[in-house]
Structure 1
Amino acid sequence: MTEQVFLVTGVSRRVGIGAAVARTLAADGHRLLLTGLPGYDDAQPYGGDPDGVPALLAELGDAVDHVPADLLDPAVPADLVAEAVRRHGRLDAVVAVHAYSTTTSLGELDPGEIDRHLLVNVRATLLLADAFAAAFTAGAGGRLVLFSSGQRLGPMPGELAYAASKAGVENLTAQLAPLLMPRGITVNCVNPGPTDTGYAPPDAHAAVAALFPGGRWGTPQDAARLVRFLCSPEAGWITGQVIDSEGGFSPARVTRRPPGTPDVQ
C-alpha cells in the first residue's frame, strides 16, 4: 500500500483494538496520529495500562505520534483532524475505534450518563467525519472506518445507552456513505463481536469461547486486519456497509456483549 496518513482514535491499552490497528497500519509503512484517553480506562473495572502509550510509541517508531484527547469536548474532533494535517501535510483516513461504555440498565438510568454515551459515541464521530471531509482534498482514496458492536443482532440489556449510541454509529455509516463517496471517501463500520482484550476471568472466557463455532474469541488483530483491508485500494468499491466480522458468534444464545467488555475513549 502507498504510504497514507491515518488518525486512529481509542488508543490507550496495548491489548486493545486501537493498538492492534495502529500496529498493523504502522507495519505497512503508514504515518499515524493516535489519540485516546488513558484515564478513562484507568477508572474501569478491567483497569488501564499506565505504560501503554509510551510503550506503543517506542514499539512503532518515529512515524507514529499520540495526543491525549477527551471527545466529550466538542472542539476536539476538528482539533485532531487539524493536528494530523499540521504534522503530516494531509489526512487520508480516520479509524474511529473510540467508545464510551458504562452500565446503564432499565430502572437505573441516569440522564447525564446517557448524554455522555451519545456525545462521545455519536456526536464526536459525526464531528470527526465532518472535519475529515472538509480537510480531505485528494479526491480519491479517503477512508472512514467506524466501530459498532452489532446491536441490531441481539440485546444488550445492561448497556442500553451504549447500545443506542452504537446503533446511531451504524446509521451514520449509511447516512455518510453517499455524501462522502463523491468526495473520494468510503465509509464503513466494523462489528468485531466479542473481542479478547484481556478483561474476562477464566470461567467467563471459556463460556464465551463456546459460543463461537471456532471455539475462540475474536482477537484485536482480527479487527485490525479487516480495517487494513477496508483502507486498501482493493476496498475502494465498498462503502455504506456494517460488516459483522465475528467468527460466526451466535447472538441468539447470548446478549451481544458480556458485561464488562472494555471499549476505550
Structure 2
Amino acid sequence: MREFPLRGRAALVTGVSRRAGIAFAVAERLASLGADVLAQSWEAHDAEQPWGADPLGVIYVIDELRRRLPSGAGRIEHVEADFAEPDAPAAVVDATVAAFGAIDVVVAAHARSSGQSLAELTAAELDLAHAVNVRGSMLLAQRFDAVRDHSRPGRRIVLFTSGQHYGAMPGELPYAASKGALQQVTASLAGALAAKGVTVNCVNPGPVDTGCADDAAREHVAGRMPMGRWGRPEDTANLIEWLISDGSAWTTGQTLVNDGGWGLRI
C-alpha cells in the first residue's frame, strides 16, 4: 500500500529510551510507514545523566510509541541492552530477526555521553564511550551483514555523528572522539558492503532539542542558529525516512549534514 511504503521491512532502531529523543521520532516514523521496528534502549545510561531517564520509564515510552501509530502501521517490539557488553550488538540484531523473521535496516541512534573535560578525562570513560558508540555500532553492522537476507531489497545502515568537526566540544571529549570515529569509518563500512547492496551513511543532526539543554543553553544556541531555532527530532526523522526509502539507493558512504545551517554560522 502506498500509505505504508515500508510495509514488509524490518528495522532495528537503537537508543529509544526517551519520548523527547531522536531515536523515538525515528522509530515512530519508520513504523508509521509500515516497517516493523525493534526499539533498543538502555535506560540506565539516561538515569545517570543530568537530564535523567524518561520520567514515566522506558516501558511507558514503548507503550506511547505504539499508541501514536495509525491503524495498520508496523509492529513495535522492544529490548533492553547495554552496548558496553561486547555480545550485546549481535544479540540485538538476532532479536530483530527473531521478532520479525528478517532485518533490513539498522539505525544506530544510541550514544553514550559523559560530560568529561580534559581535566576530568579518564581512561575508563574513553574506553566506555568507544565501546558503546563505536564498537557497538560497528558490531551491529557486522552482525547485520552476517544474518541479512540477500534476496530482500532496501538494506540500509545509518550511523550518527555530532558535528564535532564544526567546532570544539571541550566538555565532551570522550563523546566527541567516538562520534568523530563513526564519521570517519562510514566510508570504509560503505565500501565493505556496497557490492552486497547495502548502503551505509552517517547523519549529523546538528543541535536538536531533546530536553537535554538548560534554558540558558537553549536560548544561546537558538540565537546563533541561522533559522532561529533548534532542530527538532522530527527534522532528523525526515532525513532518516529518505535514507531508508528506495530513493536513496544510490547514496552511500556519506555524512549528511541536517543542521539547519549551524555549520554556516560566522
TM-score normalised by structure 2 residue count: 0.91
Q: Given that residues 154 and 251 in structure 1 are in contact (C-alpha distance below 8 angstroms), is that contact kept between their aligned partners in structure 2?
A: no
Q: Residue 237 of structure 2 is aligned with which of 224, 227, 250?
A: 224
Superposed, which structure 2 residues align to 1:213-252 within 5 Å?
A: 213-250=226-263
Distance 2:115 2:214 in 1: 18
Matched, 1:196 2:209: yes
- Unaligned 5+ runs, structure 1: 254-265
Distance 1:53 1:103 in 2: 23
Q: Residue 46 of structure 1 is aligned with which of 51, 63, 66?
A: 51
Matched, 1:77 2:89: yes
What is the Cα deviation at residue 203 of structure 1? 2.6
What is the Cα deviation at residue 50 of structure 1? 4.0
Distance 2:239 2:181 in 1: 21
Q: Given that residues 212 and 250 in structure 1 are in contact (C-alpha distance below 8 angstroms), is that contact kept between their aligned partners in structure 2?
A: no
Cα deviations by residue, 1:47-90 (Å, 9 ceiling, x for unpaired): 11142533333234381011100000000111111111111110
Match of 1:263 in 2: none
Match of 1:154 in 2: 167
1:39 corresponds to which letter in structure 2?
A
Q: Given that residues 81 and 88 in structure 2 are in contact (C-alpha distance below 8 angstroms), is that contact kept between their aligned partners in structure 1?
A: yes
Matched, 1:6 2:11: yes
Distance 1:38 1:240 in 2: 31
Distance 1:239 1:135 in 2: 20
Question: Aligned residue pairs: how many?
Answer: 253
Secondary structure in 1 aligned to 2:250? coil
Q: CA RMSD in A?
A: 1.5
2:170 corresponds to which letter in structure 1?
P
Secondary structure in 2 aligned to 1:144? strand
User: Mean alpha-carbon deviation: is it higher for 43-52 or for 156-165?
Assistant: 43-52
1:90 corresponds to which letter in structure 2?
A
Matched, 1:99 2:111: yes
Matched, 1:22 2:57: no
Q: Given that residues 53 and 66 in structure 1 are in contact (C-alpha distance below 8 angstroms), is that contact kept between their aligned partners in structure 2?
A: no
Distance 2:60 2:113 in 1: 25
Distance 1:93 1:192 in 2: 19
Distance 1:212 1:250 in 2: 9
Matched, 1:63 2:67: no
Distance 1:51 1:191 in 2: 29
Secondary structure in 1 aligned to 2:157? strand
Identity %: 46
Secondary structure in 2 aligned to 1:33? strand
What is the Cα deviation at residue 251 of structure 1? 7.0
Q: Given that residues 38 and 50 in structure 1 are in contact (C-alpha distance below 8 angstroms), is that contact kept between their aligned partners in structure 2?
A: no
Q: Given that residues 11 and 105 in structure 2 are in contact (C-alpha distance below 8 angstroms), is that contact kept between their aligned partners in structure 1?
A: yes
Distance 1:151 1:249 in 2: 12
Distance 2:55 2:155 in 1: 33
What is the Cα deviation at residue 107 of structure 1? 2.7
The structure whose RCO (Cα within 8 Å, separation 6+) is larger is: 1
- Unaligned 5+ runs, structure 2: 67-73
What is the Cα deviation at residue 161 of structure 1? 1.3
TM-score normalised by structure 1 residue count: 0.91
Distance 2:120 2:59 in 1: 38
